[in-house]
Structure 1
Amino acid sequence: MTVKNCLIVDDSKMSRMMVKKIILDAHPDWILAEAQNGQEAIDRASEAGFDIILLDYNMPVMEGGAAAAVIRPLQPEAQIAFLTANVQEAVKNLAIQLRIDFIPKPITEEKIKRYVG
């Protein structure tokens, strides 16, 4: 089984903990990193390669859309998704434009497992 590097980006510590638990329950050997805003996500993505990046949209410092626009060229092979409660058409369209996926919150085990495999 392949070990994957995954970055979980959300300003809510509770959301990060939930996603982390779901992924580790399914894949205990995966390497997970966390960031609490878009700028931290860019910093992490500049330092390491990730297989999967889950990005909240509404965050302080830098929102997920601006971060995704910088991260996508840095990590062209990564599976990237907005994992967000912001389900406006503009956010969905931005995801399409940036070539990333869209997963609406609430966070559920089924949604996360379906996405990460």
Structure 2
Amino acid sequence: MTDSTPLNILLVDDSRIARLTMKHMLQSLEMSLNLLEAGSADEAETVLSTEHADIALIDFNMPGRDGLELAAVITERYPHIRMALVTANIQDALAQRARDLGMEFLPKPASVEQLGAFIRQDT
């Protein structure tokens, strides 16, 4: 990515309000970002079939497949995408499962600083 090329970030959360909140926080970072949205694992796969994403911020608890099941698919099909599990389900075992998939674990609600550090790879 160059300074003029936007970073494509996929937000995956079944809560429209949670996605909207994350969008506002990400837009406050004053970075060149293109934000993509999905309300489920299935929608995320549909988006990824037509759009390029550099980063995916994924909720854990969603109807249908959970965030870790989606992350396993993304890891297999799109290994270049960096991922973070952004969830209110704060359990050590869940955080470890996320790390085992190569994901960052961010407790929800994540702060602007936490999101910015992950996006900028300052973690």
Query: Normalized against structure 1, the TM-score is what?
Result: 0.90
What CA distance in whole angstroms lies between the structure 2 residues aligned with 1:44 and 1:10?
13
Q: Find the counterpart in structure 1 of residue 7 from structure 2.
A: 4
Q: Return the offset for 1:47.
A: 2.4
Aligned partners of 1:57 and 1:64 also within 8 Å: yes
What runs of 5+ residues in structure 1 fail to find an aligned partner? Answer: none
Aligned partners of 2:11 and 2:36 also within 8 Å: yes
Identity over aligned pairs, percent: 35
Q: Find the counterpart in structure 1 of residue 98 from structure 2.
A: 95
**What is the aligned counterpart of 1:65 among 65, 68, 86?**
68
Q: Return the offset for 1:25.
A: 2.1
Runs of 4 or more above 3 Å deviation: none
Q: Return the offset for 1:27.
A: 3.7
The question of 1:36 aligning with 2:25 is answered: no
What runs of 5+ residues in structure 2 fail to find an aligned partner? Answer: none
Query: Normalized against structure 2, the TM-score is what?
Result: 0.86
Q: Find the counterpart in structure 1 of residue 17 from structure 2.
A: 14
Q: Find the counterpart in structure 2 of residue 51 from structure 1.
A: 54
Aligned partners of 2:74 and 2:81 also within 8 Å: no
* Aligned amino acid, residue 50 of structure 1: A
Q: Return the offset for 1:28.
A: 5.6
Q: What is the count of residue pairs matched by the alignment?
A: 117
* Structure 1 pair 101–28 and aligned structure 2 pair: CA distance change class (3 A): closer
